[in-house]
């Protein structure tokens, strides 16, 4: 509307006024065109940057995918050329590699075999690897269950009939019984790395929950007892056949003042 009014005024104004108004009008038009050109240039520049970023990301993903495929191919070749003993060792060393991608790629290689004998070899390899992985999973679960049971027995003197945990325990004798149970389990060789991992896992969960301060304190006590009984028996003063004097001296101080 303002532009239309300006044009009408130009029709009934003096030539000088009309010239001035048309100059302003032309300036406004030119300014609009420049603004649009700048906006278009900025948009084009942003699109180009996004395109370059996208191309880089895609190329990186493709490169990473290719590297993983090469690694899986190499592992399959090693498994295929190994004897039963070597195969078990390879599976244990690369247990985390046997994910969904591995089995999909192994199936793809099996299907692309030209000869039936090669296809049967791959099928037998898949069964062998599955068998070893299955045994590993079962053993791991058994160790976890065993470590959980050991921890429950150690904590049993502290936990009352209602399974509530108070710390320090109401009965002073309960702590003594807990230490005796831990000592017995240590003599039986049950306080291994699996047990330590179970205690740490339970402690992290108790801290995350935040509503079991008694359990948290009790698990920390178990770790202290574990350190005093198990870790203190390990010597770091020996390196091969050589005795490290500094480590030996430090261990002596710990024993004397621990």
Residue 8 is predicted with a pLDDT of: 40
d(C-alpha 75, C-alpha 18), whole Å: 85
Hey, which residues does 239 pair with through a beta bridge? 242
Q: What is the pLDDT of residue 4?
A: 39
Do 76 and 94 contact (CB within 8 A), yes or no?
no
**C-beta separation of 191 from 182 below 8 A:** yes
Where do we find the tokens 């006590």? Answer: 221
Q: Which H or E run includes 217? A: helix 213-229
By DSSP bridging, strand 238-239 and strand 242-243 are: antiparallel
CA distance 24 to 26: 5
Cis check for the bond before 82: say yes or no (omega within 30 of 0): no
What pLDDT does residue 258 have? Answer: 46
Distance separating alpha carbons of residues 140 and 136, to the nearest angstrom: 6
CB under 8 A, 24+ apart: contacts of 85-89: 87/128, 87/129, 87/132, 88/132
| Distance from C-alpha of 235 to C-alpha of 50, rounded to nearest angstrom | 58
Distant-in-sequence, close-in-space partners of 131: CB < 8 Å, separation ≥ 6: none
Integer Cα distance of 219 and 224 in angstroms: 9
Per-residue pLDDT of the chain (258 residues; tens, 9 = 90+): 544 344 444 444 444 444 555 455 454 444 555 455 445 455 556 666 666 665 555 556 666 777 888 888 899 999 999 998 999 899 988 888 888 888 998 898 899 888 898 889 989 999 999 999 888 888 877 777 688 888 888 888 887 656 666 677 777 788 888 888 888 888 888 888 888 888 888 888 888 888 777 888 888 888 888 887 766 665 555 455 555 556 555 556 555 544
Give dist(CA 41, CA 140) in Å, integer.
61
> CA–CA separation, 189 vs 195, rounded Å?
10
Measured CA to CA, the distance from residue 60 to residue 1 in angstroms comes to 55
What is the reported pLDDT for 7?
A: 41
- Neighbouring CB atoms inside 10 A of 66's CB total 10
Q: What six digits make up the tokens of 61? A: 């993903």
């Amino acid at each position: 509307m303002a532009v239309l009014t300006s044009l009408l005024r130009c029709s009934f104004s003096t030539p000088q006024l009309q010239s001035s108004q048309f100059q302003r009008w032309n300036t406004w038009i030119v300014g609009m065109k420049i603004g649009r050109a700048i906006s278009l240039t900025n948009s084009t520049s942003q699109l180009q940057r996004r395109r370059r970023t996208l191309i880089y990301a895609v190329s990186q993903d493709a490169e990473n995918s290719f590297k993983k495929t090469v690694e899986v191919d190499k592992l399959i070749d090693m498994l295929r050329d190994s004897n039963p003993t070597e195969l078990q060792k390879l599976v244990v060393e690369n247990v985390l590699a046997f994910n969904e991608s591995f089995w999909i790629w192994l199936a793809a290689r099996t299907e692309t075999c030209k000869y039936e004998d090669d296809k049967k070899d791959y099928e037998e390899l898949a069964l062998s690897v599955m068998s070893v992985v299955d045994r590993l999973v079962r053993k791991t679960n058994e160790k976890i269950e065993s470590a959980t049971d050991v921890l429950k027995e150690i904590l049993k003197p502290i936990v009352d009939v209602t399974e509530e945990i108070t710390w320090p325990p109401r009965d002073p004798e309960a702590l003594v019984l807990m230490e005796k149970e831990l000592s017995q389990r240590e003599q039986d060789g049950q306080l291994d790395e699996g047990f330590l991992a179970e205690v740490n896992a339970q402690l992290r969960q108790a801290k995350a929950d935040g509503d079991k301060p008694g359990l948290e304190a009790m698990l920390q006590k178990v770790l202290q007892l574990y350190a005093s009984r198990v870790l203190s028996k390990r010597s770091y003063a020996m390196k091969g056949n050589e005795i490290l004097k500094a480590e030996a001296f430090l261990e002596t101080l710990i024993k004397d003042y621990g």
